[in-house]
Amino acid sequence: MNSPWEIDNAHLIIRLLLSVLLGGLIGFERERKNHAAGLRTHTLVCLGSCLIMMLSMYGFADFVNEPNVRLDPARLAAQVITGVGFLGAGTILFTGKSITGLTTAASIWVVMAIGLTVGAGFYLPAVFSVIMVLLILWGLNIVEKRFVNHRSDCSFTITTSGDGLRIDDVQRLLTARGVKLVKVRFAESEYSSDDPEAKQRRIAMTVVLPDKGHLLEVADELSKIQGVIGVAVE
């Protein structure tokens, strides 16, 4: 390959296969965690980016010697960077309480860059980037779970019978569990009976849990408080 505008078929195949392998490694990590974009999505993005990069570099070699023609190998690559942003945006979800999919969107963007890098023939940076991405996705995930405190908003609806529930009991339980009470609302059901025990009271609470893994335990302890006949969690 004496000309920078020419490449043989063997190197074309090598670059395409390498892009599939590198993109597949990152996609496999996402697939294992059941994310929206997994093995096939990442592999296809990396392969397509590599193909477009090679097309941009070598696909117009016949026009190099034409008058008034100036080739720019980075032009198509720049369009790929813009286009993949829409694909990544499709993996980001807003659930009303939190935003998910940002890491997967970022991994798609990085896979695109790796595909362009392989297509341009920079094998070492591409391989090293994949190693770094996998270390970030695996290693930092472990670090976050161990050292980062993920607070979670939850809603509890407590149904009580009559006036048997003492609010102090609920407050003490929440304090002991490290649960922060954000909002509370009281509602009393209407019954035709004059018996105070027949009346039901509902307490809707929005709380912040220090660890969502203890959600069921908190709900179970609330249900055991005297006067509570039901606990619903959202």
Q: In the structure, what pLDDT confidence band is assigned to residue 183 with cuts at 50, 70 and 90?
A: confident
Question: By C-alpha distance, which of 26, 75, 24, 19 is closest to 49?
Answer: 19
Task: Give the chain's radius of gyration (CA, Å).
Answer: 29
> Average pLDDT of 72-101?
72
Of 156, 216, 200, give the one whose Cα is nearest residue 181.
156
CA distance 153 to 155: 7
Read off the tokens for 121.
């023939």
pLDDT at 128: 92
In the chain, the percentage of residues whose pLDDT exceeds 70 is 78
Region 152-171: what's the mean pLDDT?
A: 76
> CA-CA distance, 98 to 212, in Å (whole number)?
14
Q: Identify the bridge partners of residue 9 per DSSP, sorted by sequence position.
A: none
Per residue in 25-57, pLDDT (tens digit) is 888 888 887 776 778 888 888 988 888 888 888
- In the chain the first and final C-alpha atoms are separated, in Å, by 63
CATH number of 152-233: 3.30.70.60
Predicted TM-score of the model (pTM): 0.58
Q: Where are the domains of the chain?
A: 9-147, 152-233
pLDDT tens, residue by residue, 147-160: 665 556 778 888 88
Task: Please report the pLDDT score of residue 192 as a whole number.
Answer: 46
In single-letter form, the type of residue at position 109 comes to W
Average pLDDT (62-78) is: 70
Taking the CA atoms of 40, 109, 93 and 219 in sequence, report the sign of the dihedral they define: positive
Give me the residue label for tokens 């059901």: 189
Summarize pLDDT for 106-127 with one digit per residue, the tens: 888 889 889 988 988 888 989 9
Instruction: Report yes or no: 209 and 150 within 8 Å, Cβ to Cβ.
Output: no
